[in-house]
Amino acid sequence: MTTNETARERQVNVTGSRTPSSDVILTEDALRFIGELHERFNNRRLELLEKRMERQARFDAGEQPDFLPETEQIREGDWEVAPIPDDLKDRRVEITGPVERKMVINALNSGAKTFMACFEDATSPTWENMIEGQKNMHDAVRRTISYTRPSDGKEYRLNEETAVLIVRPRGWHLEERHVTVGGEPVSGSLFDFGLFFYHNAKEQIARGTGPYFYLPKVESHLEARLWNDVFTYAQERLGIPHGTIRATVLIETILAAFEMDEILYELRDHAAGLNCGRWDYIFSFLKRFRNQDDVLLPDRGQVTMTAPFMRAYTQLCIKTCHRRGAMAIGGMAAQIPVKGDEEANADAFSKVAEDKRREATDGHDGTWVAHPGLVPVAMNEFDAVIGEGQNQVDRKREDVQVTGRDLLQVPEGTITEGGIRTNINVGIRYIAAWLCGSGAVPINNLMEDAATAEISRSQIWQWIRHPEARLDDGREITESLFRQLLQEELWKIRKSEGAERFTEGRFQEAADLFKELTENDDFEEFLTVPGYGRLA
């Protein structure tokens, strides 16, 4: 449908309960806009999700992805994305975090150049989190956001100088079931994008910035085309100039790595860059090739950024972006500050510094940090390379030669009982926190979010089924071993949390979901899909 055609207007219904800010966010006009997005774009979204499953069936039959022959001209052609807006030219440190009120203020004040406010993997998509998250964005854009910490009355307000706001809506696979159009649940992506854009785009432009987005979990240039069409419609509908929206696409699926040029090309009027979302990338690699016998990943802790397949992907991303005049942003080291243990804290900081040094030296234009305490660490490393400049787009990295085989090189290593236990323990703890409304949590002094939990549960799914998966001591990895370790880890959690916290913290429910995801032969595309049904 072209943007000039009138879509059928069906009833937009809100089934979610009132939240403190629903009157401000869910206005009649805003909901009408969400309805229009749904009518125009939801069928295409569903078709593209179907296409993901068709491709999966081909990988299950042994096919390997490759660069697309039909888009060779795009890869070979000379073109660039639209010029980068001034306030997105220097993104050397980007802080990320959930859209929770206090954290939004802390992130904007953190000293980072930009703040990626996450409605996706760092936020558990409870109805209240989604609506109040939109209100926090609304107030942050207008600089009226404030917060009083209940425990001690500490007041939070924005500093004079704050990070540039970039919003990450949910991925194409998620629904927002509390709003329906003609009885159909709306897409989480269209809901999060639509409400943010409707309420804030004009205000942002008036304040000298713009509506900037991060696009998660995109698997193909056709999915990028859908985003581009959504942007084109949304701008036209609100009377905002074409190309005002600028999007950074997360290259965090193995299939998107084969279509980086094409993704930038589809979005060329709206693209600002690409980002190496390393955690989802590992998950995607595992997920898409889970039924291929020559793909077997070692313990999660052994799949690092220096593994050849990860080096190939990040370097190709830098080369592709810089050829197209776009920013190549690095990813998230999992380490966070360790309280009360100076040695462990110093070790965490040095691991983050090493990660950021490698990214800056490779040519990334910026990187992500998970915590305000890590902003100076990343800043030091990028300052050392970028210095007085703004970015490294002029470093074309023509020396980088990456083939399809390089992207598909399986990392080597071992599978250990400790690795299985960590996956189970961390997976249960994360899902429990998510069910209780927190989408990003510290576990064992590491940042965990939905993407890292996906790796944990899918590794065990594969190890149980892979004909060659063995522990380093030779034992087979069976479902009964998994059940035994799950019981033991759950018992440890119960012991450390205490009976009351164990029940309130929904750990048993989390373990049940983890078990179901692992034992079900039909691999769930995303744990957050069955999880969503249990959130309420």
Distance (Å, rounded) from C-alpha 155 to C-alpha 147?
Answer: 6
- Residue 472: CB atoms within 10 A of its CB come to 14
Q: Does 352 bind ligand ACO (CB under 6 A)?
A: no
Alpha-carbon distance of 164 to 173, in angstroms, equals 27
Separation between Cα atoms, residue 272 and residue 290, nearest integer Å? 33
Residues 6+ apart with CB under 8 A from 257: 251, 281, 313, 316, 317, 407
332 vs 443 by CB, closer to ligand LL5AMS7Z: 332
Residues 56-75, one symbol each (x = binds ligand ACO by CB under 6 A, - = not), give: --------------------
Cβ–Cβ < 8 Å for 129, 74: no
Determine, following the binding rule CB under 6 A, whether residue 440 of this chain makes contact with ligand ACO.
yes
Minimum distance from CB of 446 to ligand ACO (Å)?
8
Nearest approach, Cβ of residue 451 and Mg ion (Å): 4
C-beta separation of 238 from 196 below 8 A: no
Residue pair 353/377 in contact by the 8 Å Cβ criterion:
yes
Query: Which amino acid would we find at residue 144?
Result: T
| Closest CB to Mg ion among residues 201, 453 | 453
Residue from 277, 330, 363, 531 touching Mg ion (CB under 5 A): that is 277
371 binds, among ligand ACO, Mg ion, ligand LL5AMS7Z, none (CB under 5 to 8 A by kind): ligand ACO
Determine if 92 is a binding residue for ligand ACO (CB under 6 A): no
The phi and psi torsions of 410 (rounded to 5 degrees) equal: -80, 130
Which option in ligand ACO, ligand LL5AMS7Z, Mg ion, none does residue 85 bind, with CB closer than 5 to 8 A by kind? none
In this complex, which beta carbon is closest to ligand ACO, that of residue 360 or of residue 374?
374
- Using CB under 6 A as the binding rule, whether residue 264 contacts ligand ACO is answered as no
Binding mask 300-339 for ligand ACO (x = CB under 6 A): --------------------------------x---xx--
Alpha carbon separation from 6 to 12, 231, 237, 452 (Å, rounded): 16, 17, 12, 42
Work out whether the CA dihedral 279, 257, 1, 272 comes out positive or negative: positive
* Closest CB to ligand LL5AMS7Z among residues 368, 507: 368
Report d(CA 2, CA 17) in Å as an integer.
35
Which segment (91-99, 134-142, 235-243, 289-297) binds ligand ACO by CB under 6 A? 91-99
List contacts with Mg ion (CB under 5 A).
Answer: 252, 277, 280, 451
List contacts with ligand ACO (CB under 6 A).
Answer: 95-98, 102-103, 106-107, 118, 121-122, 279, 332, 336-337, 370-372, 440-442, 447, 449, 451
